[in-house]
Amino acid sequence: MTDKIPHYTESIFYELKQTARMLKFLAIQQFTQMNIDLTPEECSALDVIMCNPNLCQRDLAKLLLLDRANTGRILNKLEEKKLIKRAVDTKKNRLVKKVEITKNGIKKLESVSNKILDKYNIIIEKIPQKEFDAVKLAIRELRTNIEKHIENKI
């Protein structure tokens, strides 16, 4: 790859972190401007729950890369808004709360997705789909390699 260790600000890790931070700022800004009564984190949680039915809080936390306490707060807010429901179940002979998206949650997620889709498309329109897919795959491979070297204690 390279014989010289790049300065942090010249590394891919810096670029990824800055891009992720900018995306977070943009999401907060867009949600505020569009009067969306969810936070970007709540919306992400709803999407993950919809794509992965009957998750427990621990598994959701792992997918969102959040600690269980923050995940619990997000779930409490979503439950108060009647966008999810939790039910007690067993997993490996232990009681766990499974999370399920409600019909209201699906409607809300679709509504938010439709509102932010135009902004998302504007952001990526200058990148050819083939390049976009290649970058996404490379980032996924990088993340997979990183995961092999960390202990995830969520």
Q: Which domain holds residue 85?
A: 39-147
Evaluate whether 55 touches 99 at the Cβ level (below 8 Å): yes
**17 assigned to some structural domain:** no
pLDDT band per the 50, 70, 90 thresholds, residue 15: very high
- Residue 1: is its pLDDT beyond 60? no
Q: Hey, CA dihedral for 125, 51, 84, 98, is it positive or negative? A: negative
- pTM (2 decimals)? 0.83
- Residue 2 or 23, more confident: 23
Q: Is 124 among the domain residues?
A: yes
Asked if residue 16 has pLDDT above 90, the reply is yes
pLDDT category at 150 given cuts 50, 70, 90 is confident
Ranges of H-type helices in 34-67: 40-51, 57-64
Tokens read off for 111:
């509504």
What's the number of CA atoms in the CB half-sphere (13 Å) around residue 120? 9
Q: For residue 52, what pLDDT is reported?
A: 94
67 CB-near residues (< 8 Å, 6+ apart): 61, 154
What does the pLDDT average to over 137-148? Answer: 92
Report if residue 48 sits inside a domain.
Answer: yes
The answer to whether residues 46 and 78 touch, using CB atoms and an 8 Å cutoff, is yes
> Could you give the number of structural domains in the chain?
1
In this prediction, residues 49-53 reach a mean pLDDT of 94
> Comparing 149 with 81, which gets the higher pLDDT?
81
pLDDT in tens, 55-106: 999 899 999 999 989 999 999 999 999 999 999 888 788 888 899 999 999 9
Residue 88 in contact with residue 138, Cβ under 8 Å? no
In a domain, 46, yes or no: yes
Provide the CATH number for the domain around residue 59.
1.10.10.10
Q: What is the pLDDT of residue 80?
A: 97
The confidence score (pLDDT) of residue 88 equals 87
Residue 93 lies in a domain: yes
Q: Please determine, for residue 118, whether its predicted confidence score (pLDDT) is greater than 90.
A: no
- Contact call for residues 104 and 83 (beta carbons, < 8 A): yes
| Residue 16, in any domain of the structure | no
Residue 153 inside a domain? The answer is: no
